[in-house]
Structure formats: C-alpha cells, structure tokens
Amino acid sequence: MGVRNQAPRPAEGSRPWLTVSSLPGCHGLRVAGEVGLATRVDWERALARAVREGGREYRLELSAVTFVDVAGAGALAAAAQTLEEGRRIVLQQPPPTLRRLLDMFWPGLPAIEVHTP
C-alpha cells in the first residue's frame, strides 16, 4: 500500500481534508489537515504504515494538522501500543489539541514521543 497523496488543500468552508506524504530522509510521514470522522480512514492508513514499517523510530510531522478529535488521538494511542518494545512514534509539532488529548487520556505512553519547537 503506497502513500495516498491528495490534491492541494480545498477552499475554506469545504469538506474536511487530510493529506499524507512521505517525509524525506527518514521513516516517516508529513500529515496536513484535520483528523476527524471524514478523514479517519486516511489517518488510520497512515498509522498502519507507521506500525508496519521497520525502524526504531517513525516520525509523524504534524505542523500543518489543525485539529485532531478524540477518536483520532485514540487511534494513534492504539497504534503506538502495538509497537514492539523499543520502537516509538515521534510526533513533530503536533497541534495543541492532540497533545492535550494524549496527556489527558493516555499519559506517559512510552511508545509516543512529542517534539515541539
């Protein structure tokens, strides 16, 4: 299964969107848009790739993600909990909502590391 590349961001006021592309130079993905009901399939596909691909560390660059609902945060936590010991998902610049949800419902999850500027 390849990375799903979508068209550029739709106009304001249109349907929620999510784009996923490879992150150059490492195991990882760049994600942009919203993680919610309308984009859940794409988000879960990206997380499945993170779990499946080798390496000790898998990066998700999230600086262009504007919103993550609790189900999207739960899908991330569930994916991280399936990783073998010693592997982790590194979140680069996640939106504040995602950091709050992880802190509130999945505090101290060792397979998720958060990097903020």
Residues facing residue 61 across a β-bridge: 30, 92
Domain with residues 18-115, CATH architecture = 2-Layer Sandwich (3.30)
Share of the chain above pLDDT 70, in %: 88
pLDDT (tens digit, 9 = 90+) per residue, 68-102? 999 999 999 999 999 999 999 999 999 999 999 99
pTM: 0.86
Predicted pLDDT at 7:
43
Share of the chain above pLDDT 90, in %: 79
Residue 3 has pLDDT above 50, yes or no: no
Residue 107 has pLDDT above 60, yes or no: yes
DSSP 25-70: TSSEEEEEEEESGGGHHHHHHHHHHHHHS-SSEEEEEEEEEEEE-H
Residue 105 has pLDDT above 70, yes or no: yes
Q: Stretch 46-55: mean pLDDT, rounded?
A: 89
Q: Where are the domains of the chain?
A: 18-115
Predicted pLDDT at 12:
57
Task: Tell me whether strands 112-115 and 18-22 are parallel, antiparallel or unpaired.
Answer: unpaired
Burial, 24: exposed, middle or buried (Cβ in 10 Å; 0-12, 13-18, 19+)? exposed
Confidence of residue 6 (pLDDT cuts 50, 70, 90): very low
Contact 96, 68 (CB under 8 A): no
